[in-house]
Structure 1
């Protein structure tokens, strides 16, 4: 009985340690944008996880909706596609990856090969997001250079 108890205790400690390590890895992947007013948490897959108003500690997002923080809208068909055969329509591409480099966010999108750089300005009263640049190097051959 004593050996079983020690074995059960050892297994419990190992499982709790593994759970804590996995939790820390997930926290590292989350992007946090925060000021005196609110805290925004975005997953590495660009899905918004939480938006909390600090003064009331109120969660402002409906959980489980899986909404991306950014999207890109293009008029399609695009450049080399046949515009006479296919009328233009808007196509929306949702963000599917995001990471932070200093005060800039690098955002990737589903189905399109380029990424965008978004400048983030955090002040005590507001946060602003400004489109800074597109990363298009090496995604198209020179003869198909397309400006997004």
Structure 2
């Protein structure tokens, strides 16, 4: 069972298991219309500092860190948005159990800024929820 770290649990490795994912609806008024994003909060297995990161599922089934410069690009946002919950379910059902992760090179100073923002928000889940509120307002 994956109990969130803020509740005293251990963060599991990144996976394509739907039970480890969290889905957010970005529609500003009706939470059933989408677009939707899929996230996971986890620790990369090769991270020597074992720092928790938030990953977004891309439409091609690849997970990308929220700290990735690609995620920050306005034009690339659609790569992470799904039109329906059915699309998400179908994608996750067709993915192998082992997650494919695209590692992005992030300058240390940028990573430090993002980590500080996550800490100020109250943790990874609070940070992504704030981002979702911002995205809803921008729609």
- The structure whose residues are more often helix, as a share, is 2
Please, what TM-score do these two structures have when normalized by structure 1?
Answer: 0.28
More strand by share: 1
TM-score by length of 2: 0.29
Larger Rg: 1
- The structure with higher relative contact order (CA 8 Å, sep 6+) is 2
